[in-house]
Chains A and B, each alone.
Chain A
Amino acid sequence: MKGPTGMNDVERAPGPYAAPRVGAGIRTSLVRWAPVAVIAIAAVGIWEAVVALEDIPNWKLPAPSAIADALWGDRGDLARHTWVTLKEVLIGFGIALGAGLLLATLIHMSRTMERVIYPPAIASQTLPIIVIAPLLLAWVGYGLQHKVVVVALISFFPILVNTVDGLRSTDGDLLNLMRALGANRWQMFIKAQVPHGLPYMFSGIKIAVTASVIGAVVGEWVGSSEGLGYLALRSKSQFLTERVYAAIFLLGVMGVVLFLAAGLAQRVLVPWHGRQRGGPNT
């Protein structure tokens, strides 16, 4: 029996709040991911077989083995371009995170700020990024900063909107209680609204990291001489279709890894989430 005994009380809390055993963790992961792996391997196998049996030309649809060859054969080049794109994504996302949280705080603090910030923020999202990106080229130039701005522009919005919603949805009764205990606005913000808003912020971050990858590719298509998006575009015009697919594969992996990293950060920073009622459904 865990937990103290001998309480002359019928109620007893469930087991203590402890991390699950590591061995059990690995076993459940295996059980959970085995079907996914089976399906993925089957899909790749069918793909390979169809390409071989139907004799589909390489420029139309390369076989997985051909893509794997491209991945391995061009690994030096691909690694360099991956690093370029990753850098654009990370810097752009970092700026988006900072800007999103700052603007969310301002909107939360003042109705005037809300009226000033929200309309242009929403407008920036209704215009297709593919239209804005070339215009930005004229403003910020051709280099890394252009890609970073496109990434930031596309990914600050989900962070902003979710964080504002999170800050606002704090239980009014809790805020009243704090007020009754003598709390000032800052204490209510720091001790209640910020922690309450964290899970919402992470919902925004998860959307934002995946959007970041799209932003980097769009930026590279509009004007760049490096990065996975650029590489895919160039390889297409050179009829190196398997390298296009290799670049797409790496972009996909990047998106998934960033998403998982965001999830991991959430679990570390918001360990209470999912163990309670309420909160956003993510």
Chain B
Amino acid sequence: MESTHTKIRTTSIHKAFYENGAHLSALAGVDFHASDREFVSIIGPSGCGKSTLLNIIAGLDQPDAGSVELYGATTAQRLGSVGYMQQKDLLMPWRSVLDNCILGLEIQGVPRGEARTRARALLAPFGLEGFEGYLPHALSGGMRQRAAFLRTVLLDHDVVLLDEPFGALDALTRSHMQSWLLGLREDLKKTIVLVTHDVDEAVLLSDRVYVLTASPGTVRTVAEVKLPKPRSMEMVGDSAFVKLKLELLSALGSLGSRVR
């Protein structure tokens, strides 16, 4: 019962890199878990191993020590079992928006026609209706990022990993994207892991927030976000929101030297 409810569980993950003879510890014992349909954010100083953790969960990399359990099974062969999206949209410039969206399905062997039909059904909620025939270069940054997101969630995987998906966008577009994702969150019915450096974003969207320590990454604290749902952008002013945000900022160690 428990194992089907928990979609991701990492136990004491260690990971080090060796570069020009130097040993660099990126993760030093990270316990992480996410349940079915849970939205979990990970925040932490840059270089603390957030992307490394996602790479390991996705199966792009293997931990030196510790185990990764995905959908209740511990296996080294995890490639192709989660949706994955990065800061760079990585859209193929030679493919139309629609054909970019179906890349994952195509890789899985779904016939193009059927894949396109499934993608078309999602164009409207992703704000891409009417743009499916465009090449990516003609789209704004926010639209490109939504196309990349559509490509990610179009797969039937229950788990979606988002690595700073809005990190490259300007502040205004980013807040549009956040409120859009907020509206979409419940409908997606997915387990979402979001890496972000935006504490507001983490609190607003998440059920739980992991704060990692600076390199090598370990879990400093995990905070439950007990704000009522459905959430809205206006909640950033609520006292509960502000209180949690201050807690997280202080866990990040960024309160003493406030720059933002």
Known pairs A11-B173, A173-B88, A272-B94; A180 contacts B60 (CB<8 A): yes
CB atoms of B79 and A179 under 8 A apart? yes
B93 smallest CB distance to A (angstroms): 4
Q: Mark B59-89, 1 if CB is under 8 A from A, else 0.
A: 1100000000000000000011111101010
Contacting pair B142 A9 (CB below 8 A): yes
Q: Among the listed B59, B92, B106, B137, which residue makes an inter-chain contact with A275, where contact means beta carbons less than 8 Å apart?
A: B137
Question: Do A11 and B106 touch (CB < 8 A)?
Answer: no
Across-interface contacts of B176 in A (CB, < 8 A) = 9-11
Residues of A within 8 Å of B125, CB to CB, are: none
Contact B103 A276 (CB under 8 A): no
CA distance A275 to B86 in the complex (A): 22
Q: A179-B60, A275-B137 are in contact. Are A174 and B81 (CB under 8 A)?
A: no
B127: chain A residues at CB < 8 Å are 7, 9
State how many angstroms separate the Cβ of A188 from the closest Cβ of chain B: 9
- Contact between chains at B107 and A14 (CB < 8 Å): no
A102 an interface residue at 8 Å Cβ cutoff?
A: no
In Å, the complex CA distance between A207 and B129 comes to 42
Question: For A80, what are the chain B residues with a Cβ–Cβ distance below 8 Å?
Answer: none
Q: Does B140 sit within 8 A of A, measured CB to CB? A: yes
Report if A61 contacts B (CB, 8 A): no
Residues of the B chain whose Cβ atoms lie less than 8 Å from the Cβ of A181: 80, 83-84, 103-104, 107-108, 155
Total A residues in contact with B, Cβ cutoff 8 Å = 33
How many A-B pairs fall under 8 Å by CB?
Answer: 94
User: In terms of DSSP, what is the predominant structure of the interface of chain A?
Assistant: loop
Query: Does any Cβ of B come within 8 Å of A69's Cβ?
Result: no
Which chain A residue lies CB-closest to B142? A11
**Complex formed: what's the CA distance from A162 to B154 in Å?**
36
A171 closest partner in B (C-beta): B90
Query: Contact between B131 and A191 (Cβ–Cβ < 8 Å)?
Result: no
CA of A181 to CA of B81, assembled, Å? 7
A35 on the interface (CB 8 Å rule)?
A: no
Q: Find chain A residues with CB under 8 A from B59 CB.
A: 180
Residues on B with C-beta less than 8 A from A169 are none
C-alpha gap A66/B176 in the complex (Å): 72
How far, in whole Å, are A251 and B141 apart by their CA atoms in the complex?
48
Is B58 on the interface with A (CB-CB < 8 A)?
yes
A275 partner residues in chain B, CB cutoff 8 A: 93, 135, 137-138
Task: Say yes or no: B107 contacts A182, CB within 8 Å.
Answer: yes
B92 close to A13 (CB less than 8 A): no
State the A residues within 8 Å of B (CB): 3-4, 7, 9-17, 171, 173-174, 176-183, 187, 191-192, 195-196, 198, 270, 272, 275-276
A-B contacts besides A11-B141, A13-B143, A180-B60, 7 pairs, CB < 8 Å: A4-B131, A9-B142, A173-B86, A177-B84, A177-B86, A179-B60, A198-B94
- What are 13 A-B residue pairs whose CB atoms fall within 8 Å in the complex? A3-B130, A9-B142, A9-B176, A11-B143, A13-B143, A171-B88, A173-B86, A174-B92, A179-B79, A180-B59, A182-B104, A275-B93, A275-B137
